[in-house]
Structure 1
Amino acid sequence: MTMKIKKTEFPEISILSPGRKDFDYIDSFKGYFSDRNRNIEISEIGKAFFSSGTKWGSKMFAIRNKLVRLFGLKTGSETGMQTGKDFKCEVGERVGIFEIFAKTGNEIVLGENDKHLDFRVSLLVDKSKENPEENSLTISTTVIYHNWLGLLYFIPVRPFHKLIVPAMLKNMISNLESKKQSF
């Protein structure tokens, strides 16, 4: 079965939905996964996010960190990086530049507030009541620019973001379905 990841509308059921009018940038990508035993928990989704990056995406993020450090922006290296057993995917925890801002039974919101912009990433699961083969996972990103530096920063980031997120989502779903996460 070929896994299809599609650009989609911002989910109305997302925790972030009430703030939509305030966002300068929004996108959402959706994919479907099977969970026959109904045992994939939202924390597993969060952990999968951090363990499903692509090699080329990781290299680009390393380059990004070197460049933004010159401008005094956050790189994540100044915060404690939790990994593996230590990471519970709870509100307030940090992994690199990502802080967990909210968590419900079907959504995790993570992101960062910085001097140039704030961003949030929603990992939203919608489990089908009728068919465990048609559960959806949507990754939505929102950005609020604080100043011209935020806009200037996001101009070159945006096209890569649109490539990285669908690739990560595809990897997340593959990892979740095979239960071969190695966080």
Structure 2
Amino acid sequence: MKVEKCSLPKASLLSKNKFDYSDSFKAEFTDKEDTTDIIVMTKAFFSASPGWIGKLFVLRNKMVSVFGLKTGNKIKGKEDVLQNFKGEIGEQIGIFKVFNKSDNEIILGEDDSHLNFRVSLLLEPKEDSRKNLTISTIVNFNNWFGKLYFLPVKPFHKLIVPAMLKSTIKGLIVQNQ
């Protein structure tokens, strides 16, 4: 599966926002049964994280808790949370809150004292049962600490998002078999 870096899609709800940083990655997959909608995709996104990413988040949470920043504690009853997830605005999965939603996109994120971030999962149908999934991130810095915090995060972020994209689609492929 090929993951490509791309521009923030004009079709994205995020394209109307101002931001200090953004990145987007997309990949194509086949959905022969046309069963993948934005809620199925979001559930796969939270179910299919590679183990090394989880370990990075544990390390990040230990480091930033000293500064009073929000941490994404382990989701209690993750299976139940995901099973009952409807994608309603205000609904929460770990540190990610739903900020906006359309038929083919969900905007997740969090606001904190140092920065605010949004993650878009955008599902776009193509011909012949093909679909594109684009994961985009925008960040707004609230102060100098946000900029300082993001300096070491940025290189990891550019590794994490493509890995999450691949594992999300692989999880969907397994689900659809």
Q: TM-score under structure 1 normalisation?
A: 0.90
Is the Cα contact below 8 Å between 1:108 and 1:122 reproduced in 2? Answer: yes
1:1-183 to structure 2, matched below 5 A, reads 3-19=1-17, 22-77=18-73, 83-128=81-126, 130-133=127-130, 135-179=131-175
Distance 1:111 1:80, change over 3 A: farther
Stretches of structure 1 lacking an aligned partner (at least 5 in a row): none
Distance 1:112 1:66, change over 3 A: same
Q: Which amino acid aligns with 2:21?
A: Y
Q: Per-residue deviation at 1:81?
A: 7.0
Aligned equivalents of 1:160, 1:144: Cα separation in 2: 18
Question: Identity across aligned pairs (percent)?
Answer: 51
Equivalent residue pairs, number: 174
Q: Per-residue deviation at 1:110?
A: 0.1
Aligned equivalents of 1:69, 1:78: Cα separation in 2: 14
Aligned equivalents of 1:79, 1:46: Cα separation in 2: 15
Aligned equivalents of 1:92, 1:18: Cα separation in 2: 20
Is the Cα contact below 8 Å between 1:80 and 1:95 reproduced in 2? Answer: no
Cα distance per residue 1:5-51 (max 9 Å; x no partner):
010111000001011xx211000000001011211121011111111
Distance 1:38 1:78, change over 3 A: closer
Match of 1:16, SS state, is: helix
Cα distance per residue 1:140-182 (max 9 Å; x no partner):
00000000110011000000010011011001111112217xx
Match of 2:52, SS state, is: helix
